[in-house]
Amino acid sequence: MKVEIFDYAQEVAERVADLLEDQLRVYPYSQLGLATGTTMVPIYKEMVRRVQENRLNLAGVRTFNLDEYVGLDESNPNSFMAFMREHLFEPVGLPREHSYFPWPDFSRCPARYDDLIKECGGIDWQLLGIGHNGHIGFNEPQTPWDSKTHEVILTADTRRANRQAFGGEWLKVPQKAVTMGIGTIMHSRTIVLVALGKGKSAILAQALRGPMTLQVPASVLQRHPHTFVLCDRAAGTLLDR
Ligand code: GLP
């Protein structure tokens, strides 16, 4: 893994956009795996800025989001689809038919999402955040490393961490989601994991410097051949030691 620590979140966002520019310069028709969450807001803002400045061209990409809440369709403002529309798809004019989500399209057989990804050629470039317990996507601790896209019951901690979009009321956060599995994520050719803020420092150090363990899902990235970890100084404080 290549770990890069920057002073400010904006510098992290610029580096992520640089990496995407590099990817699309060589493979303009890439399949991108995309993430949601507060960490991604400055990242998508920077991507939008570059598209508007004609530095980045997303016209040829297809996007596959990591996860979606069960029961929140795209008309629901709290769905991850709505998040993506607001922060990336609409500002850059990405056609609806170029973006895929594991729910509701694959609600009957979530593992078919993996088949679709494979049929499209696999994910070339996967963006990831990290949860406070080390989850990636919604793969909570103890998720098998060869897991495919599947339905999960969210832990109370994860629902609390995601409560902001639900007016701060964690009980309004859906109990279930469908997420790419750890195996799905690990098949991506390039992975870019982003962590911002002091709250992520402890789990980032465990994931990167601790043992590979099911208890910390992101630790599996230690065995991925082409992963970048980009963080700000606050999230990276425990990595220097
Ligand atoms: C959710 C998402 C993850 C994301 C995580 C961290 O659980 N399913 O993909 O990485 O939250 O979110 P945040 O960036 O808001 O800390």
What DSSP letter does each residue of the chain carry, written as one string? -EEEEESSHHHHHHHHHHHHHHHHHH-TT-EEEE--STTHHHHHHHHHHHHHTTS---TT-EEEESEEETT--TTSTTSHHHHHIIIIIHHHT--GGGEE-STTTTSS-TTHHHHHHHHTT--SEEEE---TTS-BTTB-TT--TT--SEEEEPPHHHHHHTGGGGTT-GGGS-SEEEE--HHHHHT-SEEEEEE-SGGGHHHHHHHHHS---TTSGGGGGGG-SSEEEEEETTTTTTT--
pLDDT at 109: 96
* Ligand 1 touching residue 126 (CB < 6 A): no
Angstrom distance (rounded) from CA 30 to CA 14: 20
* Ligand 1 touching residue 165 (CB < 6 A): no
Give pLDDT tens digits for 164-182: 989 999 999 999 999 999 9
* Ligand 1 touching residue 65 (CB < 6 A): no
* Ligand 1 touching residue 164 (CB < 6 A): no
Give CA separation, 149 vs 28, 52, 190, 218, 222, in Å. 26, 33, 19, 16, 21
The structural domains of the chain, ordered by start, are: 2-240 (3.40.50.1360)
Q: Give the residue numbers marked as catalytic.
A: 67, 133, 135, 140
Q: Report whether 230 contacts 196 (CB < 8 A).
A: no
β-strands 176-179, 150-153 pairing = antiparallel
Nearest CA to ligand 1 atom 13: 37
Closest ligand 1 atom to the C-alpha of 137? 9
pLDDT at 116: 97
Query: What are 208's two structure tokens?
Result: 């990167």
* Ligand 1 touching residue 101 (CB < 6 A): no
Give pLDDT tens digits for 193-238: 999 999 999 999 999 999 999 999 999 999 999 999 999 999 999 9
Angstrom distance (rounded) from CA 167 to CA 153: 21
Tell me the pLDDT of the chain (241 aa) as tens digits.
999 999 999 999 999 999 999 999 999 999 999 999 999 999 999 999 999 999 999 999 999 999 999 999 889 999 999 999 999 999 999 998 999 999 998 989 999 999 999 999 999 999 999 999 999 999 999 999 999 999 999 999 999 999 998 999 999 999 999 999 999 999 999 999 999 999 999 999 999 999 999 999 999 999 999 999 999 999 999 997 5
pLDDT at 107: 87
Closest ligand 1 atom to the C-alpha of 130? 10
Nearest CA to ligand 1 atom 4: 129
Length of the chain: 241
